[in-house]
Structure 1
Amino acid sequence: MKTRILLVVVVITFSLLKSYSQTRFVKVNDTIRQFTSYQSTKIKENEKAPLLLNFHGSGMTALEHMMYTKTNQIAEEKGFIVVYPQGINNEWNVGFGQDYDNGTKDIEFINVLIEKLIKNYPIDSTKIYATGLSRGGFFVQRLATELPNKIKGFVSVGAPMPNEVKERIITNKPVKAMYVHGTADEIVKLDGKEGAYLSVEESISYWKTRNNIKEISKTKTVDNIDDGTSVTIINYGSVAQLHIENGGHTWPSADPFNVGFPLGKTTQDIDFNTLLYQFLFHSIN
């Protein structure tokens, strides 16, 4: 009886397409998984819109990440849907810290979630993208390599490519890739970590090769705000890097609060959410 009631609740909540954020549930095998969604009020009736999956970091919740990154605002402004999946115990299975094959079945979760979202939201299935911070950034790269027919591009903040992800890649299908990293990030190192993840440079090199990029990059440095940071945008087309001088382990242009961890500085030199949108949904200049 409890199972039947839960299924009814899931069906009802999926049918309620409101303009504010709502937390919903989806059953994956025998596990109930949670996500929070926001649908722009600018999406017209019978119109299909892009989808952005936004993944929280280790120790954060999806709701905390939603409030921190403020991507609901850019979704409302530009007319798309953003979804914040919730990891089990606030974690994601990225290839280190838990067993890649026998740890939490996060790929299955997102695969099922995407199918449910497409059925219940006005989503353009050819325009599904992912972004994430820290552990969430590591995970979007696993998503992009294991679900390349669904995930068309990603932006990873404070997270180069996990070693295990690179070793298990079985497709060379092009995927848009952007890496965002601060030189003063003390939590996830710019130069990589042996046995865990590559350097940012190695990660970008992989995607340049995979996407068959040969052209010279376009580079510009932005230092609009006197906050001790500057941002160099290196654009290769379908691959890009935001190199944040003196930047920490934070979401660029977010509130620069510190909860007691060595997060470092949050650059205010760019409107990062707009830049993320331009890269994934269009192309940055």
Structure 2
Amino acid sequence: MLLHLPPGFDPARPAPLVILLHGSGGTGAAMLRDSNLAEAADKHGFIVAAPDAGIPHDQGFVWNIPGVPTVAGTIPGPDAPDDVKFIGALIDQLAKAGCADPARVYATGLSGGGRMTSWLGCVAADRFAAIAPVVGLRAGNPLASDPTHPDPATCRPSRPLPVIAFAGDADTTNPIQGGGAKYWSYTMHAAEMRWATLNGCTAAPTTRWVAPKVYEERYTGCRDGADVAGRITVGGGHSWVVDNDALWAFLSQHRR
């Protein structure tokens, strides 16, 4: 695991922590490099932890999302490393050491790391103040009887959780229009709507341009201020299509 501390970090003052999760077959080191999140951390004063997943694959690793096949096509067995437990222990360790403020812990990740970030929101919402999946927003597994919808039984967060997701509309690996691998299936819009339902959002969703070629779909009027936002880059592909300052602006509004 790589840990990036911002300049001037004071061990006597616990800082916000962003857990950065790599894509399938990747590594934490490559994810930290490719996301440029260390530069944003230096600018805004948060810690980045970039761990490796528990299951080796090719030259890197894949995350264990129970019941969901990895990119190798196999479902992790009962003896596979428990990545939810591992990430929880990582948070505990950094909080106990006085580095991280446990009320300001966030998760983000790319592709398979975005799906893992979504899964953490489903099963460990009490550990995070907000999440930000990138080209990988999910709200549980696809429904067996109708894969165009998420299965409500597979994502039951313990509390409302703010979500901002990033994607490109030209992504052919995890298409925002749905399809792709079996664990993808339903649309990004369906995932947003499910999170809005889970968070008790009551206002009609809005769509606005936030930057050239970037529009945002947002659900507000949510319990505990847990907005759901999806930012889509027109022409963007399967990559880190993120304005890191906008990412941090959203995450930093929230405390657990």
Q: Same fold (TM over 0.5)?
A: yes
1:25 maps to what in 2? none
Shift, 1:41, TM fit: 2.0
Residue in 1 aligned with 2:91?
Answer: 114
Q: What is the CA deviation profile of residues 231-266 of structure 1, one whole-angstrom value per residue up to 9, with x for unaligned ones? A: 10223341101122221001126xxxxxxxxxxxxx
Q: Relative to 1, partners in 2 of residues 1:282 and 1:188: Cα closer, same or farther, differing over 3 Å?
A: same
Contact 1:179 1:200 in 2 (8 A): no
Deviation string, structure 1 residues 25-45 (Cα, Å, up to 9, x no partner): xxxxxxxxxx11011124345
Q: Which residue of 1 aligns with 2:214?
A: 231
Structure with higher RCO (Cα < 8 A, 6+ apart):
2
Counterpart of 2:214 in structure 1: which amino acid? Answer: V
Do the aligned partners of 2:13 and 2:98 also contact (CA within 8 Å) in 1? Answer: no
Give the Cα separation in 1 of the matches to 2:25 and 2:121: 23
Compared CA separation, residues 104 and 83, structure 1 to 2 (3 A) = same
8 Å contact from structure 1 (residues 144, 152) kept in 2 = no
The aligned runs of 1:5-16 (5 Å cut-off) are: none
Would the aligned equivalents of 2:20 and 2:49 in 1 still touch at CA under 8 Å? yes
TM-score (norm 2): 0.81
Residue 250 (1) aligns with residue 239 (2): yes
Distance in 2 (CA, whole Å) between partners of 1:93 and 1:45 is 32
Provide Cα deviations, 1:40-84, integer angstroms capped at 9, x if missing partner. 124345222111000000122111111100111111111111100
Quickly say closer, same or farther: Cα 1:184–1:78, change in 2 above 3 A.
same
User: Structure 1 unaligned runs (5+)?
Assistant: 1-34, 225-229, 254-271
SS in 1 for 2:207: strand
* Equivalent position to 1:279, from 234, 245, 250: 250
SS at match of 2:64: coil
SS in 1 for 2:119: helix
Identity of aligned residues (%): 26
How many residues align? The count is: 226
Query: Partner letter of residue 96 of structure 1?
Result: P
Structure 1 ranges of 4+ moved more than 4 A = none
Question: What is the distance in 1 between the residues matched to 2:127 and 2:117?
Answer: 12
Select the residue among 192, 213, 221 that pairs with 1:204.
192
Residues 1:163 and 2:163 aligned together? no
Equivalent of 2:109 in 124, 132, 137: 132
Q: Match of 2:40?
A: 74
Deviation at 1:168, TM superposition (A): 2.5
2:161 is the alignment partner of 1:175: yes
Structure 2 unaligned regions, length at least 5: 143-150, 221-226
138, 146, 150: which one pairs with 2:127?
A: 150
Residue aligning to 2:75: 99
Three-state SS of the structure 1 residue aligned to 2:248 is helix
Q: Distance in 1 between matches of 2:49 and 2:236?
A: 27
C-alpha distance in 2 between matches for 1:167 and 1:63 = 34
Give the partner amino acid of 2:183.
Answer: A
Report which of the two structures shows the higher radius of gyration computed on alpha carbons.
Answer: 1
Instruction: Report the 3-state secondary structure (helix = DSSP H, G, I; strand = E; otherwise coil) of the residue aligned with 1:185.
Output: coil
Cα RMSD (Å): 2.1
Deviation at 1:104, TM superposition (A): 3.1
Could you give the per-residue CA deviations for residues 126-157 of structure 1, whole angstroms, max 9, x where no partner exists? 11100000000000111112111111211111
